[in-house]
Chains A and B, each alone.
Chain A
């Protein structure tokens, strides 16, 4: 008897969507997420283009849908270790890493108050710190604390365990293995921001005021490291000018060969963040082509008109720092003006693109990948489907559509498996 349940790997917007959509048809779903919370990359985004609305709004609805639906099961801090079997009958081994905090946690924050150790806050891309025991962010679902075992001093400290009134802290918690039997698998492990350190000509990592677009989201977010104030990381100063460098790694044979699809719109969106906080700031976008497809063209037009940005046709070639002021000099060839220009900025934002997670970690099954590591669509292993940005670089709405489509593909696999 084949199995009608579906495993969804990755609890970001694509995975959540695939899971919720399949469950609302009536299928049992398991979500395996490697972070201690669901929501993935979109939880770190301040606003979506083109509506400039907060991602947490849609996530809240999705979490409500999960909460109300007994057919959805999820594991956080979990990774798929192996897959065997075939369409309609896959055996999957899932490793669940220790949270060191059990289900008793009420989210009261007493533990973090007493924790003596700090760690770099990955949620804010290292722009600030949290305690070693922490709530990943205030919207975290599930709302349970977690311990970073790289930072935690363990039982020798134990202050958090002493402070917890609910016996929720288990410093000796071990990883455990879970076995699942499912009919189909949706792989939706998403993307990583392309490593800006590899673009040494832009000085990321050497110059504090060169940041990436994902960091910009955190700087602009009210629950970010600066409470939403966009400032220079080097000294916390307000900014008078900002440059956005498009195709930082994308459309590049040496880095990501594909276009990442979203960065043009993301930079236009981030220009609105800056404009809202700094009515007089100079905003320049260095680009090759502005890719605002379909109705996004309206957003492009609107931002151009309302945000008063300067578009410079020419990929930025280099960024230099004036060490005395922390200012950055962006050098580019303004192709319309037919000359090389050097302009000074307080902040440079690299529009780094999407590297699929499968560029680094492959699916433990027979699958094909393209030159950037994106999963090639089509059934290499029937019954395993990629969804969202692990397959194509997509904006959120497209990823959601793709995940919805993939939910049907997975359902079809379980139906075929019945025959």
Chain B
């Protein structure tokens, strides 16, 4: 971690407590700093901090560093770290919590934050995911610049189209969508209640 002006980093437990209170946050406390996760990660080479270091930053109380880090966004939920963690920390689930926390707290510059939001909007509106829909929503959030970048990938998309891999029409909505929405609303309400517990 960068040290500003060689000043000692000051521990601050308040941020840590907030993170520890997330759905899977309390598991982070069990981290014994072995570093297994750092190696297990499929995207470790491009992560700002390994999960171990991220957990350490949380312990130190470095809120901005933690929430601005790309660590949780690089997580592909491949489960390797979770399967290996000697302390049984469900790291991918912790990463889900951190993504959610980052989005809620306005740390959503990472393109994946947009993708996640797009994905959820799609699920929430039909009960199923339609790639075309997710993609459209994603570019809507990210703006035109991103679309230009995407243009470079157009051959991929075209290839998919050619092999019937990208239907242009969305699938049928879930019939019980109303009930599903009710369930989701209730779940979110209960989850908020639990967190405040």
Interface string of A246-289 (1 = CB under 8 A from B): 01000111110000000000000000000000000000000010
Task: Give Cα A251 to B84, complex, Å.
Answer: 12
Q: Is B24 interfacial (CB 8 A cutoff)?
A: no
Q: Is A333 interfacial (CB 8 A cutoff)?
A: yes
Within 8 A of A (CB), among B1-53: 1, 32-36, 38-40, 44-45, 50, 52-53
Q: Is A340 interfacial (CB 8 A cutoff)?
A: yes
Whether the Cβ atoms of A314 and B34 lie closer than 8 Å is: yes
Which A residues are in CB contact (< 8 Å) with B38?
Answer: 314, 317, 333, 340
Knowing that A251-B34, A288-B32, A340-B50 touch, tell me 12 more A-B residue pairs with CB under 8 angstroms.
A252-B86, A253-B87, A254-B85, A314-B34, A316-B39, A317-B39, A317-B84, A332-B35, A333-B35, A333-B38, A335-B52, A340-B45
| Closest-CB distance, A274 to chain B (whole angstroms) | 24
Q: Is B132 interfacial (CB 8 A cutoff)?
A: no
Q: Which of B39, B50, B52 contacts A331 (CB 8 A)?
A: B39
Whether the Cβ atoms of A317 and B32 lie closer than 8 Å is: no
Residue of B nearest to A331 (CB): B39
B-side interface size class? 20 to 34
Interface string of B109-152 (1 = CB under 8 A from A): 00000000000000000000000000000000000000000000
Residue of A nearest to B30 (CB): A253
Task: Give Cα A340 to B87, complex, Å.
Answer: 20
Residue of A nearest to B89 (CB): A253
Within 8 A of A (CB), among B76-97: 83-88
Which A residues are in CB contact (< 8 Å) with B53?
Answer: 338
Residue of A nearest to B88 (CB): A253
Which A residues are in CB contact (< 8 Å) with B86?
Answer: 247, 251-255, 315
| Closest-CB distance, A345 to chain B (whole angstroms) | 16
Q: Is A318 interfacial (CB 8 A cutoff)?
A: yes
Task: Give Cα A256 to B4, complex, Å.
Answer: 41
Provided the pairs A317-B40, A333-B38, A340-B38 are in contact, do residues A288 and B33 lie with their beta carbons within 8 angstroms?
yes
Provided the pairs A253-B86, A253-B87, A331-B39 are in contact, do residues A315 and B34 lie with their beta carbons within 8 angstroms?
yes
Whether the Cβ atoms of B44 and A201 lie closer than 8 Å is: no
Task: Give Cα A251 to B35, complex, Å.
Answer: 13
Whether the Cβ atoms of B40 and A333 lie closer than 8 Å is: no
| Closest-CB distance, B133 to chain A (whole angstroms) | 38
Number of A-B contacts (CB under 8 A): 55
Interchain Cβ contacts under 8 Å between A and B, 11 examples: A252-B86, A253-B88, A288-B33, A314-B34, A315-B34, A315-B35, A315-B36, A315-B86, A317-B35, A335-B33, A340-B44
Interface string of A311-348 (1 = CB under 8 A from B): 00011111000000000000111010010100000000
Whether the Cβ atoms of A254 and B36 lie closer than 8 Å is: no
Q: Which of B32, B45, B50 contacts A333 (CB 8 A)?
A: B50
Which A residues are in CB contact (< 8 Å) with B39?
Answer: 316-318, 331-333, 340
The 6 A-B residue pairs with the shortest CB-CB distance, nearest first, are A317-B39, A253-B88, A333-B35, A333-B38, A252-B86, A315-B34
Which B residues are in CB contact (< 8 Å) with A254?
Answer: 83-86, 88
Interface string of A218-262 (1 = CB under 8 A from B): 000000000000000000000000000001000111110000000
Task: Give Cα A335 to B55, complex, Å.
Answer: 13
| Closest-CB distance, A166 to chain B (whole angstroms) | 55
Which A residues are in CB contact (< 8 Å) with B33?
Answer: 288, 335
Task: Give Cα A254 to B50, complex, Å.
Answer: 21
